[in-house]
Amino acid sequence: MKKIFGVLVALLICGNVFSQGIEFEYIGFQQALDKAKAENKMVFMDCYTTWCGPCKALAKNVFPQKEVGEYYNANFINLKMDMEKGEGPELLKKYDVKGFPTLLFIDADGNVLYKRVGGGSAKDLITDAKKATDPTERIDYVKKKYEEGDRSEEIVMKYIGLLAKNKLKEELKKVGIELLAGFSNEDLLDPAKFETYRVVGDVVDSERFKFVLDNKNKFIAISNEEAVNDFIMNIYVENIRSAVGGTDIEKLNTAVELFETKYPDPQNYFFNSQSYDKFYLENKNFEAWFESKEKAAEGLVSGEKQYQNVLIMAGYRVAQDPIFDNVEGAYTKAENWFRQVVKFNENYVHSYSGLAYLYQKMNQKEEALKNVLLSIKKSKEQGHAVDQRILDLQKSIEEM
């Protein structure tokens, strides 16, 4: 009896420890909204995926903290939502979730009032929660003030900060350009104005950006060297991204050349290669995309991990991206890439899971099942936990 009593006490103690953090509800989204309305609260929704590292860090290190739980449990109906399962995909589309984790603060009518993209500390989450419950700190309030014509520095700066935080790039650019139009180049030497300029960004051929380059040391003095260098480098990077979104290959060549001139580094190869890949796919130049993958692999030593990764990532792209569904010869090329990796390293788990995805798309159930089982077997032999996505893949293949 004493032993049983001791176990019960231990369980109660453990229960109290684990209940100190955020208490998540295991209910549907509409049920959460209904409960929020009944209790006059908001819904806090953690939008996560099973493979997201920062999501796991939040769940393990931040959500269980007592001070976080105290504030969130008192003010919100807390909901965790896997954005790849159940209601997740529909909510992901509805709320335009593009990165993980995304933390949404939603009113009882389903409107997002505040958002955080990315992880953070306990202090960050409490600060966000307090802002979410303060109407004057929410983007809907600040946006309304701005659209009504309030151009006070407090409102404009706050609006720009919230647009950046919520990754609303188009609106940020629009508001930022309007704000910066009222600044002289010398105004940027004010620390607060330079910080705003850093958030808004610029283009490489602007007079304002040239002023920063010509007076780099002055800007370092009012900010810091790392921040200024990062800002300058990001302008060149955004110049490449802008070219990637267009149709002019010469514009992309020029942007890449400029970046290489200003920031020569062997590591740039990977970013530049990805930029060309995206450009080719955006413009449906599949032949050039395949050639770039083959070229990238040829430049590496056969059998080394980098070589394997180039082929594996390219093969996965073909197997999972619908853009390749009607491209002649695409599946054959991807199959050959996976087979090359198997030849160099028969224990490389991802080559088998990649083949399984590919054969599933090709409606070759037997080959797909054989390879997904090989992937699971190799993972276990190497002492690794089997990724849930692979187990889900196995199930979907078996149901073909």
With contact defined as beta carbons under 8 Å apart, do 79 and 45 qualify?
Answer: yes
Distance of CA 315 to CAs 46, 85, 110, 328, 341, Å?
Answer: 32, 25, 39, 15, 11
User: Which residue's entry shows tokens 């030497």?
Assistant: 189
- The DSSP secondary structure of 32-92, one letter per residue, reads HHHHHHHHT-EEEEEEE-TT-HHHHHIIIIITT-HHHHHHHHHHEEEEEEETTSTTHHHHH
Strands 76-82 and 42-48: parallel
Task: Tell me the longest C-alpha to C-alpha distance in the chain.
Answer: 82
Strand, helix or coil for residue 325: coil
Residue 38 CB: number of other CB atoms within 10 A? 10
User: Which residue's entry shows tokens 């810091």?
Assistant: 224
Going by C-beta distance under 8 Å and a sequence separation of 6 or more, which residues neighbour residue 169?
A: none
Count Cα neighbours of 113 within 13 Å in the Cβ-side half-sphere.
23
Active site residues: 52, 55
Strand, helix or coil for residue 185: coil
